[in-house]
Amino acid sequence: MNQPSLKPGELPESTRTLVLVIASLGGFLVTFMASSINIALPLIGADFDVSAVTLSWISLSYMLVSTVLLLPAGRIADAYGRMRLFNVSMIVFLVMAFASAFAPSASVLIVMRALHGIGLAIGAVTSTALVVLAFPPERRGRALGTNVAFVYLGVTLGPVLGGLICQNLGWRALFIIVGALSLINVVLPLWKLRHVEWREPKGAHFDFLGSVLSGAALVAILVGFSLLPEVLGAVLVAAGIVGLAAFLWWETRAADPLLNLDLFRRSRVFAFSNAASLINYSSTSAMIFLLSLYLQYNRGLSTQTAGFVLVTGPFVQAAFSPMVGRLADRVEARHVASAGMAVCVIGLLGLSFAGADTAFWYIILMLCLVSLGNAFFATPNTHAIMGSVETRWVGVASATMVTMRQVGMSMSLGVAALVLALVVGRDVIRPADYPHLLTSVRVTFLIFTVLCVFGIAASLVGPRRVR
């Protein structure tokens, strides 16, 4: 387990391809699980008889724990080996998938999903770093495009296959099948990639205080946001903001900081590209969750049929991502990413006008527009962030980028849960609540539209071509 650290891009072609395969399969499994669980939420709610807000925590707990652990995972991976940590993440993901399948209550399922988030955090940080380190700069965009395509293939197949599995075998079978598939990604790297490793010389002691401060602050903000407008929610959000300020102050003084703030100060690309990523995921991530509720409650579709409707948008994203990856190797990234954000604005605005009898072709068109915009944003933005730092900081850069993504996803779900709580309430959704549910869906998409407009500006300023 003490392999010498390799240099970036020095692997033989066959090994390089295998690294891309396991990183892409890991991304597929994570997003497949996340998207398929959304389509299963009404069935889980009926099984456990819980409210929409409780259902949102089945997704939110997964994101919350992973978000807290991203920065520590990136720093540990840099020091102890990115491949080694990736293998750990896949083992955790496998075990927690099977454990979730046997949850006896919604509360236990939420805990299992939170533990599942540990695997997501470590895997999300290391998989992107593995792709960046395995490929030379001139081929990195195409490799990242392939990796992103598999990520969104998971999003694409999640609603369809998830709907089929849940409707015919039950929601518990979903976790069992994902666990069985993840076994491949546990065995393959341990068998074929034992000699592959990248790590950096260990610096000072691990920044434990920074990890505690950042984790506590993020938990306070995200949990507090989900509890708004209650007083406790406001107090937690305020405490989280103070905690983040304390974390940033400490990071300027730590011997070996968890988050290298010099990356933000010295690189305009790194700073604004991460800001654009935060805004993009904050404004688009809850789309499947909201539309799953809308299609099944307001439009009366079955879980399976709703899955076939929801699959159309992510399919567009998966189909276009490899092409955009090749484009990112040749064209200035900020123009491509900003155009993608603009398309997202159009799609989100269109979804804010969805009604109780809106034509399904219109819903599908808006879904496809948002997904097309995401395809043109994600890969160029990732390419710009990872290309703007030295090799020794790829773990931290990857962790920072994924933290922005996960915070954005958590905030997106948090906004959706907040609006649901304000408009629908915290009780189980009944037929009498359907009009209020529709109102909450429309209001949330309008909020996301406004937020995404600001993302266009950040994207234009930030991601410039990096060589």
pLDDT tens, position by position, 76-121: 877 778 888 888 888 998 999 999 999 888 889 999 988 888 887 8
Q: Please check the confidence at residue 467 and state whether its pLDDT lies above 50.
A: no
> Is pLDDT of 166 > 80?
yes
Residue type, 452: C
Residue-level pLDDT at 204: 55
Question: Given pLDDT bands bounded at 50, 70 and 90, which one contains residue 454?
Answer: confident
Q: Which CATH superfamily is domain 13-191+256-461 in?
A: MFS general substrate transporter like domains (1.20.1250.20)
Q: Hunting for tokens 């604005």 — which residue is that?
A: 345
The pLDDT score that the predictor gives to residue 359 is 92
Give how far the C-alpha of residue 125 lies from the chain's centroid of Cα atoms, to the nearest Å.
Answer: 11
Residue/partner pairs of 16-22 with CB below 8 Å, 24 or more apart: 16/134, 16/135, 18/188, 18/192, 18/193, 19/130, 19/131, 19/134, 19/193, 19/196, 20/131, 20/134, 20/135, 20/143, 20/146, 20/147, 21/188, 22/86, 22/130, 22/185, 22/188, 22/189, 22/193
Chain-wide mean pLDDT for the chain? 82
Evaluate the omega torsion of the peptide bond into residue 229 and state whether it is cis, within 30 degrees of 0. Answer: yes
Q: Please say if the pLDDT value at position 178 is more than 60.
A: yes
The pTM of the full predicted model, rounded to 2 decimals, is 0.73
d(C-alpha 167, C-alpha 82), whole Å: 38
Q: Which residue, among 241, 258, 129, has the nearest Cα to 205 in the 3D structure?
A: 258
Interval 62-81 mean pLDDT: 79
pLDDT average, residue stretch 133-158: 77
Structural domain spans, the chain: 13-191+256-461, 207-255
Summarize the confidence of residues 335-364 as an average pLDDT: 91
pLDDT at position 222 is 75
User: How confident is the model over 194-219, as a mean pLDDT?
Assistant: 78
Spell out the residues 6+ positions from residue 385 whose beta carbon is closer than 8 angstroms to its own.
Answer: 269, 270, 273, 274, 277, 397, 400, 401, 463
Enumerate residues 6+ apart whose C-beta is below 8 A from 76: 85, 206
CB-based burial of residue 91 (10 Å sphere; 0-12 exposed, 13-18 middle, 19+ buried)?
middle
**Least confident interval from 110-124, 138-152, 346-360:** 138-152
Range in 108-122, 145-159, 288-302 the model is least confident about: 145-159
> According to the per-residue pLDDT averaged within each range, which of 1-15, 42-56, 324-338, 390-404 is highest?
42-56
pLDDT, position 10: 63
Does the structure show a pLDDT above 90 at 205? no
311-332 mean pLDDT:
75
Residue pLDDT, tens place only, 361-413: 999 999 999 989 988 888 788 877 877 777 667 777 777 887 787 778 778 87
Q: Which of 61-65, 142-146, 368-372, 388-392 has the highest mean pLDDT?
A: 368-372
pLDDT, position 466: 40
Segment among 71-75, 200-204, 230-234, 359-363 with least mean pLDDT:
200-204
Q: What is the pLDDT of residues 239-288, one digit of tens each?
A: 989 998 999 899 888 877 877 788 887 777 888 888 888 999 899 988 88
pLDDT score for 385: 81
The pLDDT of residue 242:
94
Structure confidence at residue 155 as a pLDDT band (50, 70, 90): low
Task: Please state, as a whole number, how many other Cβ atoms lie within 10 Å of the Cβ of residue 2.
Answer: 5
pLDDT band at 465, cuts 50/70/90? very low
What is the reported pLDDT for 246?
Answer: 93
Query: Using 50, 70 and 90 to split pLDDT, how confident is the model at 9?
Result: low
Nearest to 341 by CA among 411, 397, 408, 277: 277
CA–CA dist 175, 60 (Å, integer): 17
Look-up: residue for tokens 């001139």? 138
Model confidence at 1, pLDDT cuts 50, 70, 90, reads very low
pLDDT of residue 144: 80
- The most confident of the ranges 155-164, 278-287, 456-465 is 278-287
pLDDT at 464: 44
Query: Of 282, 232, 286, 218, which is closest to residue 56 (Cα–Cα)?
Result: 286
